[in-house]
């Protein structure tokens, strides 16, 4: 009997294809992701079924289009009328768990039943808020919206007023390795 392969599914939020070094980005330094990409499988011609976070995540979990899984808006919109419609559809974490895999979720969820490890089939669940706490515990005052996204989106004027920005190098261990650029 052959051993089941290890699966590491990374999904970044609102990241363009050309913002990774492994995809030819001339400015962004993404060495940790580039190393993973060099030895794994990359999807270079993938498209989202919808330009909204929650329905797109629902499609990734279920393999269904939003009109088939029922999550047609982001969480909290329309008095949450769509929030629970996805819950009767099988999702890949549940299937992997049933197949004997250890399954974990780290990061943003933005779907119903966040943190419900039993329902979704996860052994461990580490929400996005824990990442900010890991940084605070290490004495690092960092907010991705203020310190990374805005300077990159708004250009040099904001970068000079912010004083610095960070390059993030994701690591499985505690938090991130953060390098200050002058």
- Of the candidates 53, 57, 93, the one whose C-alpha atom is nearest the C-alpha of residue 74 is 53
Residue 166 lies in a domain: yes
- Of the candidates 177, 60, 65, 169, the one whose C-alpha atom is nearest the C-alpha of residue 109 is 60
Residue 47 lies in a domain: no
Strands 124-127 and 104-107: parallel
| Model confidence, pTM | 0.69
How far is it, in rounded angstroms, from Cα 67 to Cα 72?
Answer: 7
- Look up the domain containing 164 and give its range: 138-182
The per-residue pLDDT for 179 is: 43
Residue 38 lies in a domain: no
Residues forming the active site: 53, 110
Instruction: Read off the pLDDT of residues 3-50 as tens digits, 9 standing for 90 and up.
Output: 888 888 887 766 788 888 999 988 888 888 899 889 888 888 888 899
Residue 20 lies in a domain: no
Which residues in the chain come in under a pLDDT of 50?
1, 153-182
Residue 51 lies in a domain: no
- Residue 153 structure tokens: 């989106």
Residue 63 lies in a domain: no
How many domains is the chain partitioned into structurally? 1
Residue 179 lies in a domain: yes
**What letter does residue 11 receive in the DSSP assignment?**
-
Residue 159 lies in a domain: yes
């Amino acid at each position: 009997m052959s051993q089941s392969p290890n699966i590491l599914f990374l999904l970044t939020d609102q990241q363009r294809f050309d913002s990774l070094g492994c995809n030819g980005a001339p400015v962004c330094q993404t060495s940790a992701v580039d190393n993973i990409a060099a030895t794994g499988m990359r999807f270079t011609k993938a498209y989202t079924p919808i330009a909204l976070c929650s329905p797109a995540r629902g499609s990734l979990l279920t393999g269904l289009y939003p009109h088939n899984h029922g999550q047609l808006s982001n969480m909290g919109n329309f008095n949450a009328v769509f929030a629970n419609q996805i819950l009767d559809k099988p999702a890949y974490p549940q299937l992997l768990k049933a197949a004997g895999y250890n399954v974990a979720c780290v990061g943003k969820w933005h779907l119903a039943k966040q943190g419900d490890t039993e329902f979704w089939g996860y052994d461990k669940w580490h929400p996005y808020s824990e990442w900010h706490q890991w940084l605070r515990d290490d004495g690092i005052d960092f907010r991705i919206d203020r310190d990374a996204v805005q300077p990159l989106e708004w250009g040099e004027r904001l970068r000079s007023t912010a004083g610095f920005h960070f390059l993030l190098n994701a690591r499985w261990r505690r938090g991130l390795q953060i390098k200050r650029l002058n």
